[in-house]
Amino acid sequence: MVVTQKAKRYAAKVVGQLRRQYPDAGCSLDFGSPLELLVATILSAQCTDERVNLVTKDLFRKYRSAADYARTPQAELERDIRSTGFFRNKAKNIRGCCQALVEQYEGRVPRELDALVALPGIGRKTANVVLGTAHGIASGVVVDTHVGRISRRLGLSRQKNPEKIERDLIEQLPRKDWVAFSHRMIQHGRHYCTARRPKCDDCPLNRFCPRVGVCEAASGTDH
């Protein structure tokens, strides 16, 4: 994607409007440490943040360190996280990741993107969440389903692959906005730019949003 100054000005307009609409947007996952955020983010795949927070309320009391997860039998951890869905694979990723943390980093979560994505079961999205939210390090732009969908509708990217969408956003947005931008886009996706029936007429971005891929029936408009 070739980024022009016009594209950057448009992206700045989007960023500014989102900042005004969601000034206090932040991570909706409950956590008290980088490790807890790492685990919660793994659990959040194909699961609501509300459900994850219900599960981690007890989980984080039981498992206090990476070593606790690493030495827990697979079947036991599966039972503890079962209601988040895909629990076998999630338990495998959590245990594998935490075993690597114990062996390579004395149980601490590294603060480098390359080190995080090298851990078992950890991709760029999870690494960006942990670095940006737990450490305030803008390593990239978190692209979940909300961010991907809204980026395409706004014309910020034509891509469908999350990493390609992230590259487009990184080229258009100032680094200082990367972390907050994702939080605000997620809030916007929940309140207005929903997947099936976006509330385009009420949307605070409707003055300039091109509504790429949004048909009138889906947006609930009559004109």
Same domain, 57 and 110: yes
**pLDDT per residue as tens digits for the range 114-130:** 999 999 999 999 999 99
* Domain-terminating residue out of 88, 109, 134: 134
Model confidence pLDDT, tens digit, residues 81-123: 999 999 999 999 999 999 999 999 999 999 999 999 999 999 9
The reply to whether 153 and 173 lie within a common domain is yes
Q: What's the number of CA atoms in the CB half-sphere (13 Å) around residue 141?
A: 29
DSSP state of 3: P
Within this chain, do residues 20 and 38 fall inside the same structural domain, yes or no? no
Domain identity same for 160 and 91 = no
Confirm whether 144 is a catalytic residue. Answer: yes
51-76 CB burial, b ≥16 within 10 A, e <16? ebbebbeebbeebeebeebbebeeee
Q: State the residue for tokens 């300039």.
A: 208
**How does 12-43 read in b/e, with b if 16+ C-beta sit within 10 Å?**
eebbebbeebbeebebbbebeebbbbbbbbbb
Q: Of 30, 92, 144, 199, which one is the catalytic site residue?
A: 144
The boundaries of the domain holding residue 211 are: 5-25+141-219
Domain end call among 112, 134, 156: 134
Residue 114 annotated as catalytic: no
pTM, entire model: 0.91
73 and 124 together in one domain: yes
Q: pLDDT tens digit string along 173-211?
A: 999 999 999 999 999 999 999 999 999 999 999 999 999
Domain boundary among 103, 134, 165: 134
In the set 80, 90, 125, 168, the catalytic residue is 125
Say if residue 222's pLDDT is above 50: no
pLDDT band for 1, please (50, 70, 90 cuts). Answer: low
